[in-house]
Amino acid sequence: MAERRIGLIPNATTIVRAGQDENCRILVTDRRLIMAFDAPKSSLKLGLKGVFGKEADEPPEAPEEIDFAKVDIDRLARMNDNIVIPYFSVDKLKIDAILGVYSFGVLYKNEENKKLWVGATFVPPEALLRMRKAEGLNRREIIKQYGQKCQELLKRALPSSTSLNVEWKQ
């Protein structure tokens, strides 16, 4: 049976590599989570490009340019340094809400059977913040609603076998 897309979390901030914060988009399917990372635009090297030379072209497959509704899921999983978390490898998934900000942590085994932990905070994209603010919502409410939607999406996607190890925040 083909892998089915359940949804997309358009922005999450995660700490995975060398203690650095990185933004990612999380494609949620019925089999796995795929965390697609943004290109490291904040580096000094990239920052200086365009000052002394031609503006660097964006990578052709930068996450903002990917159509997640159509992209080949396997290709996305193989792309760059994206993190793939199959549900069968999940030992524990925990959702927390601190001061209305939702975050999740996953303990899973990678392909080499090594236990890894990945955490991410559900931070709404800037465009959503602006849009909702224009509708009269305050920042805290927007972040909370966004986090709840992310939680709802994960609830829908995770199979019951994995859900046994999941702590949901109400």
Partner 1 sequence: MKHFRLAFVSGFALDIPALLILFMFAFHPVTTQETISIAPGAESYGSLEVDLNGGAPISGTYESISGNDILFMLLDEGQFAEYAANVSHSSRFSAVSASGSFSIEQVDMERCYLVVEQATEFSSAEEVRVTFELNEMDLVYLALSLSLFTAGGIIIMYALYTRNKERVDARISASKYVDVVFFEEKR
Please check whether residue 75 is in contact with residue 27, taking contact to mean a CB–CB distance below 8 angstroms.
no
Q: How far is the CB of 68 from partner 1 (least distance, A)?
A: 7
Is 112 strand, coil or helix? coil
Q: How far is the CB of 109 from partner 1 (least distance, A)?
A: 27
Helices (H), 4-59: 44-48
Q: How far is the CB of 41 from partner 1 (least distance, A)?
A: 6
**Contact residue for partner 1 among 68, 87, 104, 108 (CB under 8 A):** 68
Partners of 140 in beta bridges? none
Does 150 help bind partner 1 (rule: CB under 8 A)?
A: yes
Interacting span for partner 1 (CB under 8 A) from 40-48, 81-89, 133-141, 160-168: 40-48
Q: How far is the CB of 17 from partner 1 (least distance, A)?
A: 20
**What is the distance between the alpha carbons of residues 132 and 141, in angstroms, rounded to a whole number?**
9
Does 100 help bind partner 1 (rule: CB under 8 A)?
A: no
Does 4 help bind partner 1 (rule: CB under 8 A)?
A: yes
User: Would you tell me how many other CB atoms lie within 10 Å of the CB of residue 169?
Assistant: 14
Partners of 23 in beta bridges? 13
